[in-house]
Structures are given as C-alpha cells and as structure tokens.
Amino acid sequence: MADLKGYKGKSLEFLNKNNIEIGDLIKIIADLSYTGILMPRYETSQDSHIVLKLKSGYNIGIELEKIEKIEKISSAEKSLEEESVRKTNSDLPKILLLSTGGTIASTVDYRTGAVTPALTAADLNDTVPEISEIANVDAEVLFSEYSENLQPKHWIETAKKINGLVDSDYKGIIIAHGTDTMHYTSAFLSFALSGFPIPIILVGSQRSSDRPSSDAAVNLLAAIRFAVNVDTNGVFIVMHHNDTDDAIACHFGTRVRKNHTSKRSAFETIGDNPAFVINEDKIMRNAAKEFFTTEQFEPKLQIDTKVALVKYHPGYDPKQIDDLIESGYKAIIFEGTGLGHIGNTMYNAVKKANEKGLFLGMTSQCIDGRTRMTVYESGRDLMELGITPLEDIIPEVALVKAMWALGNSESIEDMKKLMLQNTASEFTE
C-alpha cells in the first residue's frame, strides 16, 4: 500500500489507481499544467483534492474533477547519500546553537516536501553553507515546541543549560526560537542571567524555509556574525529590520516586542532604535556602551508564576481581582490606560489586594512612552492605594520580571526593590 498520509475516499482511490505516493514528483494537466511534489494532507481534509508543492515552494490544492492527466516524473524512493562532512576551522570561534523549535530550526525535505528539523551541525552547514566561513557551530536540541507552547518551565531549563556554560570557550550562544513568545523568553533570560559573560542571542524566522521569502538563513547568519564580531554581553533578539534583505536588527531582550503578525520586520525596539543594526559584515551600534550589563555574574534562576497581567478596559469587572486574590496570586501587573490609570470602579479591589500584601505594578497600554501617575488626580489616588508605577517597561516584560523578582525575593518589599531596579535595560533613562 502506498504511503498516502491524510488522503482518504476519492483522493486515496485516485492516487492508488495511478500508483502515486507522497514525495513523488508528478506532472498534472488540469486547467493549467502543474509540476510538483505530492504533499501529505491533514486527516480532516476533504477527499476531493490533492496537494502539490510547486518549485516556487508554495503549496497548491488541485481538485480531482479538474485533473485530465497525471504523470509520475520521479519516485519518492531516496537513494542513500554520503553523510555530510562537517567542516571545521580551528582558527574560527565557536558558537553554540540551542534549538527550542520554531520555524528557523527547520529545513525542507524535497523528497516529501515537508518542513523538518535541521538540528545537527552537518544539517546547518548543508542548509546555510556560509556558516562554516564564520564560525564552528555546535548544535543541540533542548526541545522542539511551537513557541506558544513554551512555558516558564522551559525558560528555566534554557537558563540552567546556559548557566552551565559560563566557563565554556564559546564566543556566543544562539537560541533558535519561535517568534510568537520569543520576547517573553528573552526577558526571562535577561533577568535570570544578567551579567553572563558572552552574548545570548535569540533568533527566529517569520517565513518558513520552504518559501522564497524565507528570512531563516539571513537572520541566523546575522546572529552568528553579531556573536562573533561584537565584544559585548547581554541578551538580544535578532530579526529583520525592514522588508529587504539588507539590514537585520539586534534588539535588547527587554525592549522588544512583536508588532506584526507576519511581516519579516515584525520585531521592533520600543521607544528607540535597535541596539545594533547588522548589514552583512558591517555592524552599527546605536546603544551607548554603558547600557550593557557589566556587574559580576550572579545567576538568579528562580521563578514564581503567581503573577497576573491585567489589561484594564471600560467594563472590567473588579471581581476578577478578588478571584486572583482568592486563587493565591501574589502580584498583579496592570496594563493601564494612558499615563497609567484604571477606572475608579477598581479602587476597592485594588485597596483589598494591597491590604492582602500583593505587589501591584502599573504599565501602560500605549506602545510608546512611560507611566507618569503623578500628573492626574486619579494616578495619585492609585499610588496611595498601593500601585507602583513601572516607568516605561513593556507590559509583557513587566509580567516576566515580576515572576522572576517574586521567585528571587524573601518578601514583597524585596520584590518591589527588584522591580524598580534597572537590571537588564528594561527601563530607558
């Protein structure tokens, strides 16, 4: 029986009749002529069409009733190939690439048309051969997850792995990561590993490597060039700077967020230019050198996730604050309006939370600017009720920092001191 994953009913019968398997290169005559690789399908797909991956890298569905002729050009059978020989150069620096999953840690298997992990050094050299001219890259898998599935336990596992390499001979550590929650991970690593002696760089891809517009290779190359050529430490996110392939941005791990769902330049530094801009072999520094972490490295890897991020809006039910208190939460980060406000319907709940000993921090829903709760009477009232303004820290970063600060504090007062301390450039001066 042919390997026809996902096909059923009419489509399965059609492919079996024509002796076609997934991975076969076929030519189809329909309304137009199509040549491509037969792809697997989702199990829940209808049985009235088949899927081809075209040479362009894009997939197309073709209805069975429109197919006039189908011809197998070559079989999916894969001949044994000699294993790629890893090229190393003792004169080049060493880089460690840790994979957590995501689009960037994948390549296309043109036998099946599927996107599969590219995790070994040999795979990387095959996929992006320019790497071997820049550095010797060791590759290791931590886990393979979509980034929306990553949880604080994964942040801790990543931090512990990196902490164990503090005395290694690596020039930098690169983390291949899905983009959707990458700035949460970068924020935690920034706090937990503040002062780590070499750069830690998270890199991702907005477009998968089976698409002509993929940014996977250029982002990875830029991250390696940055690690090799810039004498700094800290945690960074490296992603496209604009819609061309010319410039790649390097953002502080605590001052960046994903601001677009699909653009290659989705990541932006909030309130400033990126810390660095990488243009092939040229690296432009925007951030002042004194911005970087210089204190002695003392890892703080603990975390307490009993922190809530509350986005205030008209109609918000303050009973939800009571529910958080009853559920054992120890801190609330408010994403307030404007300069840092929430409606007076919330005041009693806020007062109760403060009396129960919760840390209460205020950030702003506005993309740019900083909280200034002394400007208006409502802001001053909220400060009297126990809310601490958190300058211009990004709400998601404030959430992560609060989890970290809570996990590394003996008391709420200790936590408050950590929250107001500029640990990893999370506040701008």
CATH number, domain with residue 261: 3.40.50.1170
Q: For 183-230, how does the pLDDT look when each residue is reduced to its tens digit (9 = 90+)? A: 999 999 999 999 999 999 999 888 665 555 577 788 999 999 999 999
> Which of 62-66, 115-119, 374-378, 388-392 comes out lowest in average pLDDT?
115-119
128-175 pLDDT, tens digit per residue, is: 778 888 999 998 888 888 889 999 999 999 999 999 999 999 999 999
280 and 165 housed in the same domain: yes
Residue 99 sits in the same domain as residue 177 = yes
Question: 209 versus 380: which is more confidently predicted?
Answer: 380
CB 390 within 8 A of CB 371: yes
Q: Which of 291, 320, 343 is the last residue of a domain?
A: 291
Clarify whether residues 329 and 385 are in a common domain: yes
| Residue 301: inside a domain | no
What would the two tokens of residue 59 be? 């997939």
Instruction: Decide if 322 is catalytic.
Output: no
Distance of CA 10 to the CA centre of its chain: 40
Determine which one of 171, 258, 330, 401 is catalytic: 258
Q: What is the pLDDT of residue 247?
A: 92
Classify residue 139 by its DSSP letter. E
Domain that holds residue 204: 94-291
Q: Are residues 275 and 142 in the same domain?
A: yes
Residue 4 lies in a domain: no
Catalytic residue among 103, 158, 232, 254: 103
Closest CA to 368 of 268, 270, 287: 270
Residue 122 lies in a domain: yes
| 81 occurs within a structural domain | no
pLDDT, tens digit (0-9, with 9 covering 90-100), for 3-23? 677 788 898 899 999 999 888
In this structure, are 281 and 355 located in the same domain? no
374 is catalytic: no
Residue 2 confidence (pLDDT)? 53
312 and 287 share one domain:
no
- Note whether residue 299 is domain-resident: no
Contact by Cβ (8 Å): 409, 400: no
User: pLDDT at position 340, please?
Assistant: 97
In this predicted structure, the answer to whether residue 368 has a pLDDT above a threshold of 70 is yes
d(CA 111, CA 101): 22
Work out the mean pLDDT of the chain and round it to a whole number.
Answer: 87
Task: Look up the CATH number of the domain holding residue 397.
Answer: 3.40.50.40
Q: Are 107 and 235 members of one domain?
A: yes
Where does residue 218 rank: exposed (0-12), middle (13-18), buried (19+ CB within 10 A)? Answer: buried
Tokens at residue 253, please?
């791990």
CATH number of the domain to which 34 belongs: 2.30.30.520
pLDDT at 121 over 90: no
Contact between 185 and 150 under an 8 Å Cβ cutoff? The reply is yes
Tell me, yes or no, whether 47 and 191 share the same domain: no
Question: Same domain, yes or no, for 247 and 124?
Answer: yes
| Whether residue 402 is found in the same domain as residue 345 | yes
Q: Which of these is catalytic: 112, 158, 179, 232?
A: 179
Catalytic residue list contains 258? yes
Torsion angle of C-alpha atoms 281, 286, 290, 294, degrees rounded to 10: -50
Ranges 75-84, 203-212, 255-264, most confident: 255-264
Q: How many domains would you assign to the chain?
A: 3
> Of how many residues is the chain composed?
429
Can 356 be counted among the known catalytic residues? no
Instruction: Note whether residue 26 is domain-resident.
Output: yes
Q: Is residue 237 located within the same domain as residue 311?
A: no
Q: Which among 43, 74, 105 is the end of a domain?
A: 74
340 & 278 share domain? no
Q: Mean pLDDT over residues 263-279, rounded?
A: 92
pLDDT score at 289: 62
pLDDT above 60: residue 423: yes
Structural element, H or E, at residue 34: strand 33-38
Question: Which entry of 47, 138, 180, 272 is annotated as an active-site residue?
Answer: 180
Residue that finishes a domain, picked among 258, 291, 324 = 291
* 3 assigned to some structural domain: no
Residue 367 inside a domain? The answer is: yes
